[in-house]
Chain A
Amino acid sequence: MAAAREQLAARGCSVLVVTQAQPKWLAHYAARTNWGVPLACDPERRAYAAFGLGRAKWRTFFNPRVLWGYFRAMFRGYRVRAPYADEDLLQLGGDFVLAKGLRAVFARPSVNPTDRPTVSDVLAALPSVPPMGDEPAPDAPPG
């Protein structure tokens, strides 16, 4: 996580993590973990809906691709835990890179519970050099 954060920061990209937990559970979680990035929550899932993030179907969890995704994640240390109260287990996530003015230059709504982009996928959407002042990087996404 720290390495990914540094790679993104070097390209002028900060990170915000959004969860659907209640603020008290976010505080509980933040007290025992250190993501090193801002954490926010959206317990009514209005932001999730506004970004077009849908819900999975139960049968999706038995899709071989999804099972394989969980297996790979668990091999890397991920442990399946019960969600906090009021969290929707079927809610899908997503990853978006926003430029100034909240314009999306990368959008990857998850199509299944294990569908997430790699750090390389995200970096590919960013200019190769950090911006300098008001001058955009030569290979910055069109504005």
Chain B
Amino acid sequence: MTVGDTAPDVELLLADGSAARLSTFCASEYLLVVFLRHLA
């Protein structure tokens, strides 16, 4: 993924186990997506 590319609207899981598409988090003009290495 590089600048100018369109990100895939991937499916993510929430803490309750439900699924949500990436696009559903785009409430603002921009969205910073931070992929952590690991949670701990």
Contact = CB atoms under 8 A, between A and B. Distances in A.
Q: Is the interface of B mostly helix, strand, loop or mixed?
A: loop
Interface residues of A, number: 64
Contacts of B5: 103-104, 107
Interface residues of B, number: 36
Given A26-B15, A41-B12, A83-B40, A105 B23 contact: no
Given A99-B30, A104-B5, A53 B35 contact: yes
Enumerate the 5 nearest inter-chain pairs by beta-carbon distance, A residue then B residue, closest first. A12-B29, A40-B12, A13-B30, A27-B15, A83-B38
Interface of B: 1-17, 20, 22-23, 25-40
